[in-house]
Chain A
Amino acid sequence: MSDIEETGKAELETIMAEHESALLRYAARLVNDPGAAQDVVQDTFLKLLRGWTDGARPTRSLTSWLYRVTHNHAVDYIRRENRLKILHRAHLDASPDTTPPQQHKELERKDALRLALEHVRQLDPAEQQIVILRLQEGMPYQQISEITGQSESNVGFILHHAVKKLSKSLAKAGMPRRFVRHSRSGDGGSPAKAGELS
């Protein structure tokens, strides 16, 4: 193998080592299927390889480019597989009509978290994307803006509306409101007392 080819391979290895697990986590969250997540991320890297020869390259930030392409592939995948329908069914399962609110109050923390996730999946793709990027991947608005093409303030608005939407849908689903009070955000508001479970 020539040096050049080796260098190219090494380059890919480096990029993969750096990003693959984050991208897989992101893709898995979007498509909710491990095998599909692998496909999505593989396609992303293939696109990167192809880009090297086609002359197209990620502008500005490689990380943002990878997330954007992963997102697009994931959305394509969801459309293709008609995933939305399945999600819709999940939504029906979790709706308050089928389960009385009183029972929800006794939900294990684990179940509560799972339910919250299902509600996240009902958001619009654009909302989902921003919620996941900010709250799961911990990205700053600036990078989210790079990935989504939305302005930074728009990112804030979309996120806000998504969170509000979730607040409502979770309340409607009878989600207990006092889980996990100790893990709260840093800057805003007054410090809260920990640990109340009701």
Chain B
Amino acid sequence: MNNCHDIEPLLTSHLLGNLDPVRSDDVRKHLETCSDCRAAVEELELTLDLLRPALAVESSTAPARLDERRRERLKHWRIPGLLLWLTENPRPILQVAAAAACIALIATLFMPALRASKRKAEMARNIVDYRAIMSGTEQQAPAKPAMQVAMIDTFEAEHAGKRSYLEKSRPRAKAPEFPASAVVAAPESAPLPAEDTYGADLDMSIEQANLSGGAAGALGYAYAVDNKMEGAKTAPPGDALQPVSFEMTSGKDDVSDVAVAESISRAVGCAERPDRREKEVKVAESDAVIAITAPSARPEPVMLARNEEIVDVGAITAANDREGALVMKGLYAGRSSGGRAGARSQYADSYGIYTEQAVVKSLEWLKQNQRADGSWNHAEPGVASLGLLAYLAHGETTASEKYGETVEKALRYVLKRQDGDGRFSADPAEHALATYAISEAYGLTRIPTLKQAMNKGVAAVISDTLSGNAPGEWAAPALRASQLAGTDNTDLARAKESLSSNLRTSSEPTAAPSLQLLGDAKDPATRQKLDELAAETFDWNSSRSLEQWLGVHEALFRAGGQRWAKWNSATIKALLQQANEDGSWPARPDTASPFKGQAASTALSALMMQVYYRFLPTFKPVATEPDTPAATNDDVTIRIKDALASAREEPPAKPVFRAYGSNPYIEVLSNRFSTFSIDVDTASYTLGRKYMQNGSLPPAEAVRTEEFVNFFNYGYTRPGKDVFTISTEAAPSAFGPGHLLKIGVVGRNVSANGRHEAVLTLVIDTSGSMDTPDRLGLARQALRLLLDQLSPNDRVAIVQYDSHARLVLEHTPVAERETIRTALDGLQTSGSTHLEEGLMLGYDVAAAAFKPGAINRVLFFSDGVANLGSANAEDILAAVAEAREKGILCSVFGFGTGTYDDTMLETLANRGDGTYQFIDSLNEAKRIFVDNLSATLDVVATDVKIQVEWNPARVARFRQLGYENRQLKTEDFRNDAVDAGEVGASQAVTALYEMDLAGDEAAPLGTVRVRYRDAISGQVFEIERKILPAGLRPQFDSAAARFKLAACVAEFAEILRVSPFADGSSFEDVARVLRPVALELGTDPQVQELLSLVHSASSLPRANQ
């Protein structure tokens, strides 16, 4: 049994919540029986209660920042010696060399690191063993095994029912000790190629090889030293050989690593010393394979496990290596998830968020619609090749988890079509296309079967080219891709030359992309053709084939500049508008193209949107997304380890928003239902307003059209007895062709007896980041307003959280206002943000005070930044969803911009059956807590869903504005298990649709249904209302002022979120329509404010993220 002697020393920890549950329990039990200890606890509590505020008082002696003098001193503190020289040397390649020299000095001091290479040798042996097993022989490992190992016939292996070589090597590759650092002799690197400013030449593998020279040599030398190879030992790093120490990181994706491995071997092959070259080549190959294998086996921790060995190397270079200084882009590096995101953000303009979504949908569609034999259209290797290219462009190979099977089937199909002469098709153009796809597949996967097929295929393309047998626009890509993939055809150069001279003299401007690929980007003929292409406008219905358009698109992308920016936005807009809802593109009208049908259109459209990362312009390294760690990116990073990265605990705070894309147009004949969950949030508008008032447009992803629309009051008539009323109004759109339909749904007011009793738990973020007047300061003011509105028998508890959470005030009747106010005023900010603990404690407290029939609600006040606990949401969200089941609702109130996590807060409110509002000013707080308090607290219905059934006789197609992340499946409307939004007392929700009308003018447009669960009885009801033709105004001008207001708000939001459907509209257009409306609604201050926001918007820059 526990006695006081054991328990007493634990009491402070117990009070502070620092004991594990078992001991905490012991203490609690002991306290029940021991009055001495209870007294001691009382005493300690008193002291702690005094100490905490005492220590929290920011003594006037603590400055927030170092003063300028000291700051300057730190800034001008120079890194002495070698690093100093290094930092002052301007040429990048010399920096690399210098870094190398410098590191080597240190590294030699740390021989243990070298010992690690022994394990690497063992690793190589393992792989060799593996190869022996694979080939069914037990022979001794040959001296030059590695690259061959990588080429073990993956196809054969996959017949055995396994996915990839790498996966199979996993058990063996367990040994994580692949070497972190090594001292090495590297061949002198070739000078970096100058950047091509006009049309980029795409020969990246060569540049990569040059860049990687030092690294490759590093591997080679380390291996050589360890294995006592001749030459290495006797030839210490000389003048022409720069020693280098480095670390190689790589992502999960095997593919580009192989490409890089090859570049490395090639680079070493370029070494100046013939006597050493051969060995180094071999060695580099071995190591390269290890580099591929080890990280794949243990995707994340490999690097960390090895950090210790290079601590000092890392420390020395930490200063010059923040994100991993030398990032060697693999040939296909842009195709990883991080690479894609980076490339999009750099090249895709604001459409990146839409194109990626569309690409993923189209890949999904292609997967669903692939035929059993791997083709899409019967007997057409061409379409299968296009499909293949689309997947490969996305970095999807046979090893891909999601699309591996699709890719493999398509590959098999194309390969099967190859005849004895190596031809995939009798049509030379189609054959060239297939060769292109197979070459790229080989380049990405290194599957030997593909190499043979590629070599045979390219031989036929070459013979077609040399014999003038019109090989079409695919010949140049085929030649180029096979060259990059490493075909050994000796006639390739001749064929390229011949093709190029033919194309240069051709009058057809669409030869430009081919000329670029053939290395003639700067030829005047190419330039002239490019100029002609840039003058064209992409048109889906034009007579140009889609593959020609793809060529034009790629050519202009490579040429870059203003022309590209202009072309890109217009083209992508036009292309996205053609997309079907299911992710496919419709079959094109008859064109010159041999490839017709939906699959061909879809693959080609996807390829057009993938241009940003398919080919990266030469030597413009793409910054990867900061939140994508190197380990998930298949760039091969040669990184001089940033020693501090692992020590840094909190990621840099920045606003987090998530884009949900735009709803597409839907043909009523294909789907006459539109179903969505109700959403009464308004945070997006207030947040956007705050951004604009601070001088910039909000990030596009932060704008949710429905939250903009729902912020405004549309004067709907409140229901009498019913829970909801539905009203509709329609008129021609003011901002485009078609009509706009507005649907209003209003919940009833609270019953005559007034609002229900409220049991509120305030969970307040008091972390350091909240310490500004517009965060905790404003929250405090808002809460005072709330407090004044609550009735005396409502109860309020306060939970505060920063580094840890604590109950500041247990549920206290509002009658004791002063007590609550004092507690609020006593809140102090400090520390980090343990969101999880705060929420958990909040819900615990709320559950303990749960009162059936009352409003049980957790009110959550935060800036959303979480940096302790499982900030990664899922755990928190699960707990929140569980509390919702118990009847505890939540309201989320966001504060502050800058480090604001919009996504986190919105998701939280969704899962917790709550509302989400952003409080940017005292006025907004007043609107929420004074004017709309009952709507904020009291719920009249939950799981409220809306379904519109369109009448095909009257409506041809429709598109919903907003509610992108609230869409429900048609069948879920009547599935009451599916969670949906809640509606507070007298709360109104507005939905807007764009429609194209057709046919019978007397017919109703459709029917609106609302299904909800009554908050009091728990019963589910459904009401409906026909959208009668009477509600359809002949002109926009004859519609009600509030209707026009909604139209303006929605258009404003659509422009702000760069929706492709807001095509051609400007803020000025919105202002023009809004001005008379604002005049008419002169007494509504919110409308006046909107007008001034719209006026100011056109001169504001987009917020940086």
Residues of chain A whose beta carbon lies under 8 Å from any beta carbon of chain B: 1-5, 7-12, 14-16, 18, 20-22, 24-25, 28-29, 32-34, 37-39, 41-42, 45-46, 49, 51-63, 65, 112-114, 116-117, 120, 131-132, 134-141, 156-157, 159-161, 163-164, 166-167, 170, 175, 177-189, 191-192, 194-195
- CB of A186 within 8 A of CB of B805, answer yes
Q: For this complex, into which size category does the number of interface residues on chain B fall?
A: 35 or more
Within 8 Å CB of A2, what residues of B?
86-90, 95
CA distance A8 to B55 in the complex (A): 35
Q: For the complex, what is the distance from the CA of A12 to the CA of B66, rounded to whole Å?
A: 13
Q: Which residue of the partner chain B has the closest CB to A61? A: B647
For this complex, 9 residue pairs linking A to B, each with C-beta atoms less than 8 Å apart, are A4-B87, A25-B62, A33-B61, A38-B67, A56-B315, A57-B314, A137-B831, A167-B47, A184-B806
| Beyond A37-B63, A188-B28, A191-B807, 15 extra complex contacts between A and B, CB < 8 Å | A4-B87, A5-B87, A10-B322, A24-B66, A34-B60, A49-B79, A61-B649, A114-B54, A156-B10, A164-B12, A167-B44, A182-B808, A182-B809, A194-B822, A195-B819
Contact among A9, A15, A135, A189 for B55, CB-based, below 8 A = A135
Q: Compute how far the CA of A28 lies from the CA of B59 in the bound complex, rounded to whole angstroms.
A: 8
Complex Cα distance A178/B45, Å?
Answer: 10
- B1068 beta carbon closer than 8 Å to chain A: no
What's the least CB distance linking B789 to chain A, in Å? 21
Complex interface residues of chain B between 637 and 651 (CB less than 8 A to chain A):
643-644, 647-650
CB pair A185–B66 under 8 Å, yes or no, is: no
Question: CA A67 – CA B320 in complex, angstroms?
Answer: 24
**B644 and A15 contact, CB distance less than 8 A:** yes
| Interchain CB contact under 8 A, A28 and B807 | no
Least CB distance from A154 to B in Å reads 10
**B81 close to A53 (CB less than 8 A):** yes
A62 touches B647 (CB 8 A): yes
Q: Indicate if the CB atoms of A138 and B804 lie closer than 8 Å.
A: yes
Contact of A194 with B805 at beta-carbon distance under 8 Å, contacts A38-B67, A132-B55 already known: no
In this assembly, does B466 line the interface, its C-beta being within 8 Å of a C-beta of chain A?
A: no
Tell me, rounded to whole Å, the shortest Cβ–Cβ distance linking A90 to chain B.
14
CB-based contact B841/A186 at 8 Å: yes
Taking a contact as CB atoms under 8 Å apart, the answer to whether A49 and B322 are in contact is no
B83 beta carbon closer than 8 Å to chain A: yes
For B313, the closest partner residue in chain A by CB is A55
Complex Cα distance A51/B644, Å? 11
Cβ distance B308 to chain A, nearest Cβ, rounded Å = 9
Considering the complex, give the chain A residue whose CB is closest to the CB of B848: A191
The one of A170, A189, A194 in contact with B809, judged by C-beta atoms closer than 8 angstroms, is A194
Contact B18 A140 (CB under 8 A): yes
State in angstroms the CA–CA spacing of A21 and B799 once bound together. Answer: 26
Q: How far is the CB of A176 from chain B (nearest CB, A)?
A: 9
CB proximity to A under 8 Å, residues B31-81: 41, 43-67, 70-71, 73-75, 77, 79-81
CB distance from A12 to the nearest CB of B (A): 7
CA distance A144 to B311 in the complex (A): 23
Q: A7-B319, A8-B319, A186-B806 are in contact. Are A159 and B48 (CB under 8 A)?
A: no
Known: A7-B320, A60-B647, A194-B812. A181 touches B13 (CB 8 A): no
CA distance A161 to B51 in the complex (A): 14
Tell me, yes or no, whether B1093 is within 8 Å of chain A by CB.
no
CB distance from B776 to the nearest CB of A (A): 15
In the complex, A116→B806 CA distance in Å? 22
Closest A residue to B16 using CB positions? A185
Query: CB-CB < 8 A to A192: which residues of B?
Result: 45
- Name B residues whose Cβ lies closer than 8 Å to a Cβ of A: 9-19, 24, 27-28, 41, 43-67, 70-71, 73-75, 77, 79-81, 83, 86-90, 92, 95, 99, 106, 311-312, 314-316, 318-322, 325, 643-644, 647-650, 652, 768, 799, 802-810, 812, 816, 818-819, 822-823, 826, 830-832, 841
Q: Measured between alpha carbons, how far is A135 from B15 in the docked complex, in Å? A: 12
Q: Are B806 and A185 in contact (CB under 8 A)?
A: yes
- Across the interface, A4 reaches (CB within 8 A) one of B9, B52, B320, B809, namely B320
Contact status of A159 and B12, CB under 8 A, knowing A24-B63, A180-B49? yes
Is A180's CB under 8 angstroms from B50's CB? Answer: yes
| A135 and B312 contact, CB distance less than 8 A | no
With beta carbons under 8 angstroms apart, the residue of B13, B57, B826 that contacts A156 is: B13
Note all chain A residues with C-beta closer than 8 A to B50: 112-113, 116, 170, 175, 179-180
Question: Contact at A116–B808, with CB atoms within 8 Å?
Answer: no
Task: Verify B51–A180 contact, CB threshold 8 A.
Answer: no
Contacts of A7 in B (CB 8 A): 319-322, 325
How far is the CB of A136 from the nearest CB of chain B, in Å? 4
Q: Which residues of A contact B73 (CB under 8 A)?
A: 42
CA separation between A178 and B50, bound complex, in Å? 9
Contact: A166 with B52, CB < 8 Å?
A: no
Q: Nearest 4 CB-CB pairs, A to B?
A: A62-B647, A8-B319, A138-B803, A186-B806
Tell me the bound Cα distance from A2 to B768 in angstroms: 35
| Also in contact, A42 and B70, with CB within 8 A (given A52-B319, A188-B14) | yes
Q: How far is the CB of A83 from chain B (nearest CB, A)?
A: 13
Separation in Å of the A127 CB from the closest CB of chain B?
Answer: 12
Measured CA separation A164–B805 after assembly (Å): 23
Contact residues in A for B311 (Cβ distance below 8 Å): 55, 57, 59
Closest chain-A Cβ to B394's Cβ sits at a distance in Å of 32
A108 to B52 alpha-carbon distance, docked (Å) = 17
Q: Which one of B15, B62, B83, B812 lies within 8 Å of A189 (CB-CB)?
A: B15
How far is B24's CA from A23's CA once the two chains are assembled, in angstroms? Answer: 32
A134 contact from B16, B321, B768, Cβ within 8 A? B16
Given contacts A186-B806, A191-B807, contact A62 B649 (CB under 8 A): yes
Write out the residue numbers on chain A whose beta carbons fall within 8 Å of the beta carbon of B768: 22
Indicate which residue in B44, B644, B804 contacts A58 across the interface (CB closer than 8 Å).
B644
Q: Is A57 a contact partner of B312 (Cβ separation < 8 A)? A: yes
Question: Is there contact, CB below 8 Å, between A185 and B74?
Answer: no
Of B48, B63, B90, B322, the most chain A CB neighbours within 10 A belong to B63
Instruction: Name B63's contact: one of A38, A57, A112, A184 (CB within 8 Å).
Output: A38
Question: In the complex, what distance in Å separates the CA atom of A179 from the CA atom of B49?
Answer: 8
Given contacts A7-B319, A7-B321, A120-B51, contact A182 B826 (CB under 8 A): yes
A185 touches B45 (CB 8 A): yes
A57 touches B44 (CB 8 A): no
**Contact call A16/B66, Cβ cutoff below 8 A:** yes
A residues near B63, Cβ cutoff 8 Å: 24, 28, 34, 37-38
Q: How far is the CA of A166 from the CA of B49 in the complex (A)?
A: 12
Q: How far is the CB of A132 from chain B (nearest CB, A)?
A: 7
Q: Which residues of A contact B805 (CB under 8 A)?
A: 186
Chain A residue nearest in CB terms to B110: A55
- Residues of chain A within 8 A of B70, CB atoms compared: 38-39, 41-42
Decide if A52 touches B52 in the complex (CB within 8 Å).
no
Contact pick for B59, options A16, A18, A29, CB 8 Å: A29
A56-B110 Cα distance, complex, nearest whole Å: 13
A187, B845: Cα distance in complex, Å: 11
User: What is the minimal beta-carbon distance from B101 to any residue of chain A, in angstroms?
Assistant: 14
Closest to A162 in B: B12
